[in-house]
Amino acid sequence: MADLTIAHAETPREERPTHRLSAGALCALPVIGLLAIGFAAPLVAILGYSVATPRSFDVFRSFTLENFAALFDPTNTVWLSFLWSCGFALFTVALLAVIAYPIAYGLNRVFGRASAFISVLFVFPLFVSENVRLYGWVLFYIKNGVLDGTLKWLGLAGGPEVLYTPGITLFGMVYTYLPFMLFPMTLGLALVPRDLVDAARDLGAGRLFIWREIELPLAMPGILIGMLLTFVLAIGATAEAKILGGQSIIVISHDIEIAFTYSQNWPAGSALAVLVTFFIGALTLFALSKLDLDRMLGRR
Amino acid sequence: MAGISRRSLLQGMGAGIGALAASPLVGSGPALAAREKELNILCWEGYNSAQVLDPFRSSTGATVKAESLTNDPTMINRLRAGEINTWDLINVNNPWARKVMLPEKLIKPLPKAEFEPFFAKMLPEFKWPYKWAMSEDGSELIGMVQRFGPYSFVVNTDKVSRKTAEDTGWDLFNDPALAGRYGILESDDWNVFNIFIIAGIDPFKVHTPDELAKFEETAKRVFKGAKLIGDIASMNQALISGEIDLHMTGGTYSVSPARADGHPNLRGITPLKGPLPGGKGGISWIEVTSTVNNPNLSPLAIEFLKYVQAPDVAHTVAFAEGTFNPVAQMGNPDCFKLFTKEELDAIQWDSLEEEMARSVEYDIVPDYDKALDIMNAAKRLRG
């Protein structure tokens, strides 16, 4: 290593070939290679398939916009799935905003030393497969299951019939994505300076005023990141509608799955995937353009 | 950082890339010519279980990888999409090998002389030359058969008696009184067959616009009336809990785990009559396992096909994890005697022969794409 260092030191700066990659770029090459294979290549393949001849495997050998045209055909009801997915995602975000805010507030201001433990309780379910957790809820709500059986054992009428409905699908999504809303929101609230709240209170501001004028605006970047993350995850959710909802609703990601499996129509599935990806991508870029990441990360 | 130099780092990266290139699931070429010690199987669940694979791994010292999927089109698409260089064996339902994979050169024939003797020990209906194991012209052996079964619908006989179910047949799903009391197995190729049958139409032919219109009306009604659509576990769970009384698309394959688990009141039903050729009301399936047209096929592929013919392994395949099924090798007394009374009851051995006789064999729907699109649209209207 010593020889190498001397050799470098003796090389005059102006003699270095300009086209050579910097040390940083060289070190990044393996990661760039990995990303190209693992991240970019599948996306390029999906893009290629989306313009391939319908029901074929002529990827990169054919070009047609038929797959996209079919999606916008008035007789195609795939828009129903898209609307349901958007609706579920919006409701999930709205419900989680209301549910997660008090918990995030508690983790920052109320729970004190117990905060760390309570945080772990919210993270813990993530260690268990989502499908397993959802099947657990099925056992809880199913006829003669945990809830229904217990209520009947207590001499009551039994549990409500909630399984296999759109409502239970929404419940499953709220349950699954709670941590993804909670932790960005907690981070956002943690960035609200305590002194500012105390100063406002000293100057006579009421609780609601402090919340509206100080806490909420300052925590907003965290809240918006949580909302964005939850929305993006929820719009692509399938398991909740399948396992808890009993496919009472066909969501858009399920339609994509059907195209790739039973329909044997990868080009159609790819076109749908591209369209959904562009929609989510545009939405994400729009939201991120409205966020001040510097402020969120506490750099000013 | 003391232990890491640029040279050791580069050596490590080189070794890593080398290991990746040598992986059986990456690429192909001369570097991979020697495949005597590896085997890759694309199959329905069961063949990928440790009970089946571990003894083969031990006896050959080979690395055996098996991926299970739960529908034929996906598996065949994997080969079409370029994975022909990856897999050695593919295990799908009867018509695909003969009508699709061989013409598309996705699979290659087996050595007849080596495999013909196995058919002599199978159940009578599988005797040589067995139709689905042979090419269309009957000249080539294109796969080996093992698991099979009738597959129509399943009822909880405490709620709908076996006699009522067999007599009424598919009209159960036309009965408005049963709306909200049945489920639909998420098995869309079979659901296309069954919606046609519920509409009183033979699925395995080209359909007229009128028939497709009737198919659409039936699909909308049947899917709207379903309490749930789900996988096998969901169907059995819903039957056991009382959420549903019956479910469409099902049979020995789907209900046998529940029967083996102490629920003999759940039963696969093959209707006595229906709109299928010969007035039959049921459909059966027979798995065919073929060697993939891999330019670098592992020699273990042939060995594995012979290995699963052994009576004890055939019994293990029949009762591998997931689902339990009859196997063609039960025609061999040495294999049959391995089945306990409980196991025979789980696979409905008492009625197997008559149910198979009342069924036509799984086939390809000529206008499947059109029918599936109609059915998917009908599903979206459930909400």
Give the residue from A191, A186, A193, A171 showing the smallest Cα distance to A118.
A186
Contact residues, chain B, for A246 at CB < 8 Å: 183, 227-230, 234
In terms of Cβ atoms closer than 10 Å to its own Cβ (0-12, 13-18, 19+), residue A166 is middle
What residues of chain A, 100 to 139, have a C-beta less than 8 Å from chain B? Answer: 135, 138
pLDDT at A287: 81
User: Is the pLDDT score of B379 beyond 50?
Assistant: yes
User: Is the pLDDT score of B112 beyond 90?
Assistant: yes
Considering only CB atoms, A262 lies closest to which of B5, B73, B82, namely: B73
Q: What is the C-alpha to C-alpha distance for residues A111 and A9, in angstroms, rounded to an integer?
A: 57
What residues of chain A, 28 to 67, have a C-beta less than 8 Å from chain B? Answer: 30, 55, 57
Reported as a single tens digit per residue, the pLDDT across B201-257 is 999 999 999 999 999 999 999 999 999 999 999 999 999 999 999 999 999 999 999
H or E, element range at B66: strand B63-68
CA dihedral B231, B235, B237, B239 (to 10 degrees): 180
pLDDT at B294: 97
**DSSP helix, strand, coil percent of chain A (3-state; round to 5):** 75, 0, 25
Put simply, the answer to whether B229 touches A246 (Cβ < 8 Å) is: yes
Give the residue from A168, A167, A148, A166 showing the smallest Cα distance to A158.
A148
Please tell me the CATH superfamily of domain A73-296, with its number: MetI-like (1.10.3720.10)
Contact residues, chain B, for A253 at CB < 8 Å: none
Mean pLDDT value of segment B113-124? 97
Q: Tell which wins on pLDDT, B13 or A31.
A: A31
Q: What is the C-alpha to C-alpha distance for residues B132 and B95, in angstroms, rounded to an integer?
A: 7
Mean pLDDT value of segment B300-325? 95
Domain boundaries along the sequence of chain B? 34-148+286-357, 149-283+362-380
pLDDT at B19: 39
In chain A, beta strands by DSSP E: none
Put simply, the answer to whether B237 touches A142 (Cβ < 8 Å) is: yes
Reported as a single tens digit per residue, the pLDDT across B163-175 is 999 999 999 999 9
Nearest CA distance, A81 vs chain B (angstrom): 7
H or E, element range at B148: strand B144-156
The CATH fold of domain B149-283+362-380:
D-Maltodextrin-Binding Protein; domain 2 (3.40.190)
User: Between chain A and chain B, how many beta carbons pairs sit less than 8 Å apart?
Assistant: 92
Instruction: State both tokens at B321.
Output: 């994890």
Put simply, the answer to whether A262 touches B71 (Cβ < 8 Å) is: yes
Contact residues, chain A, for B189 at CB < 8 Å: 262
Interface probe with A: pick from B69, B375, B382, most Cβ of A within 10 Å: B382
- Please check whether residue A141 touches B, CB under 8 A: no
Residue type, B331: G
Nearest CA distance, A84 vs chain B (angstrom): 9
Contact residues, chain A, for B369 at CB < 8 Å: 55, 263-265
Give the residue from A216, A260, A211 showing the smallest Cα distance to A238.
A260
Nearest CA distance, A25 vs chain B (angstrom): 16
pLDDT at A221: 87
What residues of chain B, 34 to 93, have a C-beta less than 8 Å from chain A? Answer: 71, 73-74, 76-77, 80-82
Domain boundaries along the sequence of chain A? 73-296
Q: For residue A167, what is the nearest residue in chain B, using CA coordinates?
A: B383
- Please check whether residue B22 touches A, CB under 8 A: no
Split at pLDDT 50, 70, 90, the class of B22 is: very low
Put simply, the answer to whether A142 touches B241 (Cβ < 8 Å) is: yes
Put simply, the answer to whether A250 touches B382 (Cβ < 8 Å) is: yes
- Please check whether residue B216 touches A, CB under 8 A: no
The sign of the torsion formed by the CA atoms of A254, A258, A261, A265 equals negative
Put simply, the answer to whether B380 touches A163 (Cβ < 8 Å) is: no
- Please check whether residue B125 touches A, CB under 8 A: no
Give the residue from A99, A46, A23 showing the smallest Cα distance to A277.
A46
Interface probe with B: pick from A26, A250, A251, most Cβ of B within 10 Å: A250
pLDDT in tens, chain A (300 residues): 444 444 444 445 555 555 677 888 899 999 999 998 888 999 999 999 999 999 998 899 999 999 999 999 999 999 999 999 999 999 999 999 999 999 999 999 999 899 999 999 999 999 999 999 999 999 999 999 999 999 999 999 989 999 999 999 999 999 999 999 999 999 999 989 999 999 999 999 999 999 999 999 999 989 999 999 999 999 999 999 999 999 999 999 999 999 998 888 999 999 999 999 999 999 888 888 877 666 655 554
Q: Tell which wins on pLDDT, A37 or B34.
A: A37
Contacts of B340 (CB under 8 A, 6+ apart): none
Considering only CB atoms, A1 lies closest to which of B5, B189, B241, namely: B5
| Other CB atoms within 10 A of residue B179 CB | 14
Q: What is the C-alpha to C-alpha distance for residues A201 and B216, in angstroms, rounded to an integer?
A: 66
Considering only CB atoms, A258 lies closest to which of B188, B234, B237, namely: B188
- Please check whether residue A247 touches B, CB under 8 A: yes
The CATH fold of domain B34-148+286-357:
D-Maltodextrin-Binding Protein; domain 2 (3.40.190)
Contact residues, chain A, for B230 at CB < 8 Å: 242-243, 246-247
| Other CB atoms within 10 A of residue B96 CB | 24
pLDDT at A286: 87
| Other CB atoms within 10 A of residue A87 CB | 16
**Alpha-carbon Rg for chain A in angstroms:** 26
Put simply, the answer to whether B73 touches A1 (Cβ < 8 Å) is: no
Nearest CA distance, A263 vs chain B (angstrom): 7
The sign of the torsion formed by the CA atoms of B242, B246, B251, B253 equals negative
pLDDT at A297: 57
List Cβ<8 Å contacts ≥24 apart for B119-125. Answer: B121/B309, B121/B329, B121/B331, B121/B332, B121/B335, B122/B328, B122/B329, B122/B331, B122/B332, B123/B328, B123/B330, B123/B331, B124/B331, B125/B356
Nearest CA distance, A227 vs chain B (angstrom): 26
Considering only CB atoms, B372 lies closest to which of A247, A262, A266, namely: A262
H or E, element range at B39: strand B38-43
Instruction: State both tokens at A204.
Output: 């006579």
